[in-house]
Structure 1
Amino acid sequence: MTAAADRRGVHVDDCDERGDALPVDDRDDWLTEVFRACADRVLAYLLHRTDRETAQDVLQEVFVTAHRKAAEVPNPPIGWLLGTARRLLANTNRSTRRRNELTLRLAARRAPDEDDSAAVAAVERGLAQLSDKDREVLTLSAWYGLSGEEAAVALDCTVSAYNVRLHRARHRLADRLRADGFGTLRTAELTHD
């Protein structure tokens, strides 16, 4: 009985019949041979479980992992490759699920009303007018939620120096917001400590 051939003419059953013929010392040549012999079977396995784009991405990860762990890959490699594909696909699916759950949680938050939108736009314009250093000080506190101690470490300065920089940056942003018609905002509302 003749073994099935893939679109390149490589017999896909060769993947199971390799034995110990491939030396691990020459990983690039070894990986090329294993890829030619097994890639279509691994891709078919993945296509039964996910969409084509994800299957292609996971297939690449499988062979990157095989190259990195060449000494651990048994001969024949197909079982190891399929097991690696299964685990990598599970990791991809978990990541996708987490990203989707985060998107849903963020979407469930209250959408800004028109007043909020105008204030957000004013803050964005005000931040754009500040220096890079002022923007960094403000965003470390407001967007990333760093404490004064953590932000000082990130900026490689003392806590006192950070607090002074934050105070000055808040005032510069408040000046820009007042010039933009948002004079009622207090500087402490611009970031949290």
Structure 2
Amino acid sequence: MTVKNEAVVDFLKTRRSTPVLQLGEPGPGRAELEEMLTIASRVPDHGKLAPWRFIVYAGAARAEVGEALAEITLEGDAEASPERLKLERERLTRAPLVIGVVSRAAIHPKIPEWEQIMSAGAACYNLVAAANALGYGATWLSEWYAFDERAFAALGVEPGERVVGFVHIGTRKEAPFERVRPELGDVVTWRGDI
């Protein structure tokens, strides 16, 4: 006999990302963050490899990364506008806290690399859900610097790692708007009768 947890079902049916510009202070404290990261780590992980890790960007470290992103932008475009450079400087300061989720997927004799990458994606999602469950707004973003190896040193990403995304966490300044969700008929293929 199954037992339905109505509170969890309702949470999952209404969970919503919060746009990064709608996230403000306060962010989570250390204990709440550690709880979020513990929850984020509870994902399917074939072989118990933990093929991902988290990089926490807090306080002044966020602005330091932003300065590096602005410098990389200038290297690629010496005529970058002041507005563009401001945007790059503020990439990780738009929310009180940002967590990078990094895939450490590697060739393994039994566990496909693809499964390891999906485990990292699940960790990203669990982190967003954990932040929401603890009352914070969160959004999972991957922007140009997630894919540009010139930014990896400033971000703390090691050689051979790949960025899965950046989870921005803070207090919602306003209720997030609901977006259109796909119709099940458009995304589900039924094979067999239930």
Query: TM-score normalised to the size of structure 2?
Result: 0.21
| Higher RCO structure (Cα 8 Å, ≥6 apart) | 2
Structure number with bigger Rg: 1
**As a proportion of its length, which structure holds more helix?**
1
